[in-house]
A and B are shown apart, each in its own frame.
Chain A
Amino acid sequence: MTWETVIGLETHVELATKTKIFCSCTTQFGGDPNTHCCPVCTGMPGTLPVLNEKVLEFAVKAGLALNCEITRRSQFDRKNYFYPDLPKAYQISQLYLPICHDGAVDIGGGKTIRIHELHMEEDAGKLVHDPWLDQTKADYNRCGVPLIEIVTEPDFRSAEEVIAYLEQLRSTLQYLEVSDCKMQEGSLRCDVNLSVRPAGSDTFGTRTEMKNLNSFKAISRAIAYESRRQIELLEEGKRVVQETRRWDENKDATYAMRSKENAQDYRYFPEPDIPPVEISEAYLERLRAEQPEMAQARQARYQAHWGLPAYDAQMVTSQKALALFFEATVALGAQPKQVSNWIMGEVLGQLSAHGMEAKDMALTPATLARLIALVQEGKLNRNTAVKVFEAVFATNGDVDAYIREHGLEQVSDTGLVSSVVEQVLAANEKSVADFKAGKEKAFGFLVGQVMRQLKGQAAPAVVNQLLREQLERQ
Chain B
Amino acid sequence: MKITEEMVDYISQLSRLQLPPEEKTAMTAELEQIVGYMDVLNTLDTTDVEPLSHVFPVKNVMRADQVVPSYDRASLLAGAPAADKDAFLVPKAVE
Contact = CB atoms under 8 A, between A and B. Distances in A.
B61 A33 contact: no
A127 B90 CA distance: 9
A87 B89 CA distance: 11
Given A18-B67, A38-B71, A276-B54, A84 B90 contact: yes
Contact of B53 (A56, A75, A262): A75
Contacts of B59: 275-278
A275 B54 CA distance: 7
B87 A38 contact: no
Task: Say what secondary structure dominates the interface of chain B.
Answer: loop
B67 A34 contact: no
B76 A38 contact: yes
Contacts of A265: 14
B66 A136 contact: no
B68 interface: yes
Nearest to B88: A138
B58 interface: yes
B54 A270 contact: yes
A19 B59 CA distance: 21
Interface in A7-51: 17-19, 24-26, 32-39, 42, 44, 50-51
Contacts of B13: 261-262
B86 interface: yes
A50 B63 contact: yes
B65 A87 contact: no
B92 A37 contact: no
Given A24-B66, A276-B53, A135 B92 contact: yes
Contacts of B91: 135-136
A53 B63 contact: yes
Nearest to A38: B71
A342 B95 CA distance: 50
28 contacts: A34-B76, A35-B73, A37-B73, A51-B61, A51-B63, A53-B65, A56-B62, A82-B16, A84-B88, A128-B94, A129-B93, A133-B89, A135-B82, A135-B90, A136-B93, A136-B94, A137-B84, A137-B87, A137-B88, A137-B89, A138-B87, A262-B10, A262-B13, A270-B53, A275-B58, A275-B59, A276-B54, A277-B60
